[in-house]
Amino acid sequence: MEIEFKIFTLNCWGIPVVSKHRKPRMQAIAEVLATSQYDVVCLQEVWTDGDFKLIRDKIIGTYPFSHYFYSGVFGSGVCVFSKYPLHDVFFHQWPVNGYVHKLQHGDWFGGKGVGLCRIRVMDYNINIYSAHLHAEYDRKCDEYQAHRVLQAYDTAQFIQLTSAAADLVVLAGDLNTEPGDLAYRILVSMTGLTDAFSEADEIAQETSSTNEALQNSYTPSSLIKKQIPGKRIDYVMYLGGSNIKVTMNHYHHPLPNRVPGCAYSYSDHEAVTATLKVTRDEVPVRIFDISARTAVLKESMDICNTATKRLVNHKRCYWFFTVILFLLLIATVATEAPFGQKVLYHIVHVLIVCAIGFTLFMATLWNMIETNAVVAGKLAMELNMKQKQLF
């Protein structure tokens, strides 16, 4: 028995207030999906209940089954729509997820992780994983590299531990890592997943960028003037189960450059779709490149070691500021308000107390949480390194 499985993924850029043309774009995304012919749709950055329900209600005739992965403060932003019943759903939130005080980034508030939906198509059990890794805000000085590496490793482990009974495994989403980056290599080498793009024809590969693409209306004009082609960070990856042959038939960006009749694109990301042919067949046992996995794990452990040292320095800095602020508070409490500005003086005291609370929290509870998460990831990597054979 043979099936053709089509999957669609898009980062919708649905940040309230911040994202331009959010409401009309969500409506346009819903309209185009309502007439589409995919088996499963994976969306990221659908940050509000209203946007999720708008899309769900619009496409329910085509995709009657859906699930939103609630997590964190705002929700994970990840949701899945399917033509087939969802037999199981589960969300695994990553232990490291950015910083609570980085309000301008907001990744922590999304409670990011990887979502799993299990469906059955004909006689095939299919595991759909959708994820949205921590964003890379500065490639030259990436303070979140360790977080993203640990998220990728955690995702790879999660896929391995939950996919034993699956005939087809598909990972789709905005992984915020470019081909060749460590997080990408972790996902591929640890799981055996195939990047659908690598099997695409030359025409499809000519327009590889999925973020900051030259044809996208939201790409900064400075990048367009310099003809910087953007980056590929949105993926469809797949893996066949035991005695399952999977062939990538078609890969492309399905959405037009602009919403019809409008001057803007559907999102600041490009949608990706892949068509997979799945058959039961005698296939050779997969032989994994142990040396490549070992190299990836060693590099990841080095990142963890660097992150641990940085956390020690962060702890010292926060303790230093805690002591300085406490001494400042004592000194100001013992003196009279200058120029008779008692109200302003009290406000300053309140601000100092708040700052002390923040630095004390970051030096103790937050530092311990992040340190334990990094150490846990490193220990899991060391365990894999000690195995004679990696699975």
pLDDT at 351: 94
- Shared domain for 295 and 273, answered yes or no, is no
- Shared domain for 228 and 209, answered yes or no, is yes
Continuous segment of H or E residues that includes residue 390: none
CATH number at residue 31: 3.60.10.10
Q: What proportion of the chain, given as a percentage, has pLDDT over 90?
A: 78
User: Which residue bears the tokens 């024809």?
Assistant: 201
DSSP code for 255: S
Cα–Cα distances in angstroms (integers) from residue 53 to residues 24, 26, 113, 164, 172, in the given order: 14, 10, 21, 33, 21
| For residue 288, pLDDT beyond 80 | no
Question: Residue 293 and residue 157: Cα distance in Å, rounded?
Answer: 13
Is 9 within the bounds of a domain? yes
- Shared domain for 338 and 264, answered yes or no, is no
What 3-state class would DSSP assign to 17?
Answer: coil
pTM of the model: 0.92
- Shared domain for 336 and 271, answered yes or no, is no
Residue 32: count other Cβ atoms within 10 Å of its Cβ: 20
**Which whole number is the average pLDDT over 183-212?**
89
DSSP result, 30-79: HHHHHT---SEEEEEEE-SHHHHHHHHHHHTTT--EEEE---TTT----E
DSSP result, 123-185: TEEEEEEEEEPPP-S-SSS-TTHHHHHHHHHHHHHHHHHH-TT-SEEEEEEE----TTSHHHH
Question: Residue 262 and residue 264: Cα distance in Å, rounded?
Answer: 6
**Residue 87 appears among annotated catalytic residues:** no
Position with higher pLDDT, 4 vs 337: 4
Identify which of 201, 156, 148 has the alpha carbon closest to the alpha carbon of residue 177: 148
Write down which residue in 232, 259, 280 finishes a domain.
280
Continuous segment of H or E residues that includes residue 211: none
Q: What is the pLDDT of residues 32-78, one digit of tens each?
A: 999 999 999 999 999 999 999 999 999 999 999 999 999 999 899 99
Is 391 within the bounds of a domain? no
Q: What is the pLDDT of residues 75-105, one digit of tens each?
A: 999 999 999 999 999 999 999 999 988 888 8
Write down which residue in 234, 254, 280 finishes a domain.
280
- Shared domain for 185 and 310, answered yes or no, is no
Length of the chain: 391
> Which one of the listed residues 21, 134, 269, 349 is annotated catalytic?
269
Position with higher pLDDT, 229 vs 369: 369
- Shared domain for 94 and 212, answered yes or no, is yes
Q: What is the pLDDT of residues 178-191, one digit of tens each?
A: 999 999 999 999 99
Residues near 140 by beta carbon (within 8 Å), at least 6 away in sequence: none
Average pLDDT value over all residues in the chain: 92
pLDDT at 339: 66
Question: Residue 27 and residue 59: Cα distance in Å, rounded?
Answer: 11
Structural domain count of the chain: 2
DSSP result, 77-139: --EEEESS---EEEEEE-S----TT-TTT-TGGGT-EEEEEEEEETTEEEEEEEEEPPP-S-S
- Shared domain for 276 and 296, answered yes or no, is no
Cα–Cα distances in angstroms (integers) from residue 224 to residues 85, 214, 257, 263, 295, in the given order: 43, 6, 15, 16, 37
Q: Which domain holds residue 188?
A: 2-280
Is 285 within the bounds of a domain? no
- Judge contact between 297 and 385, C-beta under 8 A: yes
- Shared domain for 255 and 328, answered yes or no, is no
**Which whole number is the average pLDDT over 318-341?**
85
Burial class (CB in 10 A: 0-12, 13-18, 19+), 164: exposed
| Main-chain phi, psi angles of 219, to 5 degrees | -70, 130
**Which whole number is the average pLDDT over 268-295?**
86
pLDDT at 242: 87
| For residue 391, pLDDT beyond 50 | no
- Shared domain for 233 and 377, answered yes or no, is no
